[in-house]
Copies of this chain bind each other. A is one copy, B any other.
Amino acid sequence: MIVLDMTMSLDGYVVGPDDSVDQPMGAGGFRLFNWLDDRNDDGPSGDVYREALATGALISGRRTFEHAGRWGGDHHDGVPIFVLTHDYDQNDVPPGSARFVTDVVSCAAQARAAAGDRNVMVHGAGAAHSLLAAGELDELELHVVPVLFGQGRPLFANLPTGLVELEQTRQLTARDVTHLHYRVVK
């Protein structure tokens, strides 16, 4: 399964205003990650974090990849990182297990093959939109934080799809976050 994994404010922002390489989460955006303080504990936030780290490949949007410092080429456990991008410089070789891919269908196929019987994790709003539009997104794990940002980079605004039906398959509430899991109905 290809599973979008994103933390968002209740008003749907995944990054605060004015995000850049120097300020990757935008102004105030790291507020979203307070729940990760519990990532190594027992309980729901630890469970969903461990689940995310059990994925066998990562698909990332280009902006997310760059703003995250390319994760130094290793997001977790050295799993392959497929960076979905409109274009790239052939002389720019990403570090570690990362590679650039321009075709979303090929990207999904490569990531599924690399992950084997494990899931593929997706990071980034742009990658999510592209995969949804291509029918290649299977599930969503959203960590909804009880805060309104008011401004920032939205996860879902103006999707390049029509209506997409989902089935909610799990809901876990923990300190400072509610984890909602959905299956995309195809």
Contacts and interface: CB of A to CB of B under 8 A. Distances in A.
A80 B31 CA distance: 39
Given A12-B12, A156-B11, A163 B147 contact: yes
25 contacts: A10-B142, A10-B182, A11-B12, A11-B157, A12-B154, A12-B156, A16-B163, A31-B163, A132-B148, A144-B180, A146-B165, A146-B166, A146-B167, A146-B182, A147-B164, A148-B156, A148-B159, A148-B161, A150-B158, A150-B159, A150-B162, A151-B158, A168-B173, A171-B173, A171-B178
A65 interface: no
Contact of A10 (B156, B160, B162): B156
Interface string A1-36: 000000000111000100000000000100100000
A166 B182 contact: no
A82 interface: no
A100 interface: no
Interface residues of A, number: 35
B12 A159 contact: no
Contacts of A148: 132, 156, 159, 161, 163-164, 166
A156 B148 CA distance: 8
A43 to B, nearest CB: 15
A142 B82 CA distance: 36
A150 B178 contact: no
A156 B13 CA distance: 10
Given A156-B12, A168-B173, A163 B149 contact: yes
A150 B171 contact: no
Contacts of A155: 11
